[in-house]
């Protein structure tokens, strides 16, 4: 059973995180569109091979190139905006808890000075830096990226594993052409 101060601290942490919930949703939405715009390059190449090379139309090539530059610009703006929103979330989190952590560090230092006690503010700053780092944005991208690359592994999840008659699909990005290989029988 947790004591009252621990329960209050957890409630305060939950409240600080919940304050920025709408911003997390905004970052998720921007991530969706930024990841969809990652398909700009492959779509551009498909259109060049399909429309430009066949018709030798320079006007089409110029129009496609301008469109792609615009879409890459939008993708850059979305990525920048995601980073700024997460910086705001981290700053809000630190501002919300900074005074409380400072008071706790001062009280604990007065009672029983300890090196771990003095690192409270540094720990809070580390959490704030993590919230604004590209690593957290990668978590938003991971779910979308896994869906985009599902085409590399077309077999249903129930067919994975070692055993007689099992097949694995080798990633075509690393080895050129996709190849089916039979797994070793147990």
Give pLDDT tens digits for 7-57. Answer: 887 888 888 888 888 888 998 899 889 888 888 998 899 888 888 888 888
CA–CA distance, 5 with 114 (Å, rounded to integer): 20
Alpha carbon 34 to chain centroid distance?
11
Percentage of the chain with pLDDT > 90?
A: 15
- E runs forming strands in the chain: 167-170, 179-182
Question: Do 108 and 175 fall into the same domain?
Answer: no
Q: Are 163 and 180 in a shared domain?
A: yes
Residues 11 and 100 in one domain: yes
Structural domain containing residue 174: 153-186
Same domain, 161 and 110: no
Do 90 and 170 belong together in one domain? no
**Banded model confidence at residue 111, pLDDT cuts 50, 70, 90:** confident
Under the banding of pLDDT at 50, 70 and 90, the label for residue 75 is very high
137 and 165 fall within a common domain: no
- My answer on whether 105 and 178 are in the same domain is no
Question: What's the pTM value of the predicted model, to 2 decimals?
Answer: 0.65
The verdict on 73 and 93 lying in the same domain is yes
Q: φ, ψ for residue 155 (rounded to 5)?
A: -75, 145
DSSP string, 45-77: HHHIIIIIHHHT-HHHHHHHHHHHHHHHHHHHH
- Same domain? For 106 and 124 the reply is yes
Same domain for 161 and 83: no
CB of 95 within 8 A of CB of 128?
no
pLDDT bin (cut points 50, 70, 90) of residue 134 is: confident
> Which of 64-68, 111-115, 129-133 has the weakest average pLDDT?
111-115
Provide the number of structural domains found in the chain.
Answer: 2
* Same structural domain, 132 and 161: no
Q: What is the mean pLDDT of the chain?
A: 76
Rg (CA), the chain: 25
pLDDT value, residue 146: 60
Q: What is the pLDDT of residue 67?
A: 95
Asked if 15 and 79 sit in the same domain, the reply is yes
């Amino acid at each position: 059973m947790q004591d009252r101060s621990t329960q209050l601290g957890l409630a305060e942490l939950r409240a600080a995180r919940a304050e920025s919930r709408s911003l997390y949703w905004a970052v998720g939405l921007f991530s969706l569109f930024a990841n969809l715009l990652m398909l700009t390059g492959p779509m551009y190449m498909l259109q060049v091979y399909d429309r430009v090379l066949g018709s030798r139309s320079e006007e089409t090539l110029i129009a496609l190139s301008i469109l792609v530059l615009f879409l890459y610009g939008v993708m850059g703006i979305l990525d920048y905006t995601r980073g700024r929103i997460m910086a705001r979330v981290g700053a809000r989190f630190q501002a919300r808890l900074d005074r409380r952590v400072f008071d706790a560090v001062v009280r604990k230092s007065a009672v029983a000075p300890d090196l771990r006690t003095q690192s409270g503010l540094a720990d809070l700053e580390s959490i704030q830096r993590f919230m604004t780092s590209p690593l957290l944005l990668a978590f938003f991208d991971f779910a979308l990226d896994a869906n985009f690359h599902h085409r590399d592994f077309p077999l249903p999840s129930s067919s994975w594993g070692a055993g007689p008659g099992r097949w694995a699909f080798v990633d075509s990005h690393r080895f050129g052409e996709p190849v089916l290989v039979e797994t070793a029988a147990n």
